[in-house]
Amino acid sequence: MKKNSITIFSNKKKVVLNVSTILYVLMMGNNAEIHVSGGNIYVTRMTLGELSEMLGEGFIKAHRGCMVSVMAIHDITDKINLSNGESLIYTLRKKKEIMEQFHEKQKSIILSFAEKNIPMIEEEYLEHYRCFDDMAFAFADIEIIFDEEKHAIDWIFRYGNRALAELEKIPLERLIGSSFGSLFSNMDSKWLRSYERATLYGEKLEIIGYSPEIDTCLKVICFPTFIGHCGCILFDISEIKFAKDTSDVETALMYYLGKLPGKNDGE
């Protein structure tokens, strides 16, 4: 049975953690370090076996002192590479077994994407997102494409507004239903990695970087929409002006950039 949350005691406090935010667990002596999205670590006095029973089937054992969320794994090479950029060691002699577990559980997750509420044809996407048609910012709903190894390799534009077509410099009739890779041969993997995180892990992410595909510096905010999809709001950075007109802007910026301690508690 899929578990939605677990309750632990950390730092003498009762903490409820959403299972979908847990990346991995590391044992440090008699204590377990629970690493969650956003960078927080919760230390609790429990065994890996006890936590495994609480967390359910969505985790695999990397070695006797480490357990990893299948949804957090980007791929497995000589290390287990997570979608947030971290890498973990695992028992190399058990690579085949670990790979088989990962592929089986990842396949189960992907098959669960067949949800009744997902639009099936272009007209249904247009109806669902009609309010975005004339927005001043570019918006897209994209469906992630997985290869046979269950790695995200591309995405398909399922919806896009007029502002998106202007930003991408491609007519909407060519964008919608097309994969990004088929439109841009110089596809930058940094976008795909973040979109995969939003899709599989439910994270809300901001990416700021140069897009060689359209020769533009972008700010992109991505977030989960339908299962297997994520939404993207895109801005041309050259068109954004920063308005520094409040007394608490420095505090707000530190909070925004994650520099203040204790601001990610309460997952």
pLDDT beyond 50 at 210 = yes
Residues 71 and 68: their CA atoms lie apart, in Å, by 9
Burial degree of 75 (CB within 10 A; 0-12, 13-18, 19+): middle
Residues 121-138 have pLDDT tens digits of: 888 999 999 999 999 999
- What pLDDT, on the 0 to 100 scale, is given for residue 263? 45
- Report yes or no on 263 lying in a domain: no
The last residue of a domain, from among 111, 132, 163: 111
Q: Which residue has the higher pLDDT, 113 or 138?
A: 138
- What pLDDT, on the 0 to 100 scale, is given for residue 109? 66
3 state DSSP class of 263 = coil
- Structural domain total, the chain: 2
- What pLDDT, on the 0 to 100 scale, is given for residue 117? 66
pLDDT band, residue 264 (cuts 50/70/90): very low
Residues 33-92 have pLDDT tens digits of: 999 987 889 999 999 999 998 988 889 999 999 999 988 888 889 999 987 889 999 999
- What pLDDT, on the 0 to 100 scale, is given for residue 183? 93
Residues 78-108 have pLDDT tens digits of: 999 987 889 999 999 999 999 988 888 877 7
Joined tokens for residue 48 = 């890996």
CATH number of the domain that residue 148 is part of:
3.30.450.20
3 state DSSP class of 106 = helix
Percent of the chain at pLDDT above 70? 90
Same domain, 85 and 132: no
Residue-range definition of the domain harbouring residue 175: 122-239
Same domain, 94 and 61: yes
**Mean pLDDT along residues 241-266:** 66
Joined tokens for residue 66 = 């480490």
CATH number of the domain that residue 96 is part of:
2.40.50.1020
- What pLDDT, on the 0 to 100 scale, is given for residue 112? 59
Residues 135-152 have pLDDT tens digits of: 999 999 999 998 776 678
Question: How many CB atoms lie under 10 A from the CB of residue 65?
Answer: 14
